[in-house]
Amino acid sequence: MLERETLADMDEARRQRLADAADAVLNGPDRLKAEILDAGRAGEKPAAIHRAIHPAYTYDYIARLVREDRATHPELHKPAADAG
């Protein structure tokens, strides 16, 4: 790994943007999965979650995540909102 001193010629704002982008690549999938589960636990339907994050994950994957989480942690899930 490069020492920070080797970045002395790089603009701090650019360095931060690069670091943020790298962090998104490395940690983004876990963060997105956590947000999907949080939305499901709040009662959001998989279809609504899919519309919000499309095309990151398929509807089937999102529905499976929420369904499996509901089966293993039912106490964390609010009832789904009525279609009204």
pLDDT, position 6: 65
pLDDT, position 84: 39
Q: Is 2 helix (H, G, I), strand (E, B) or coil?
A: coil
pLDDT tens per residue, range 30-57: 999 999 999 999 999 999 999 999 999 9
Angstrom distances, CA of residue 70 to CA of 9, 24, 37, 61, 79: 50, 27, 9, 14, 10
29: nearest Cα among 57, 50, 64: 57
pLDDT tens per residue, range 15-31: 999 999 999 999 999 99
Which pTM was predicted?
0.78
Q: Which residues of 32-65 are buried (b: 16+ CB within 10 A; e: fewer)?
A: eeeebbebbbeebbbeebbeeeeeebeeeebbeb
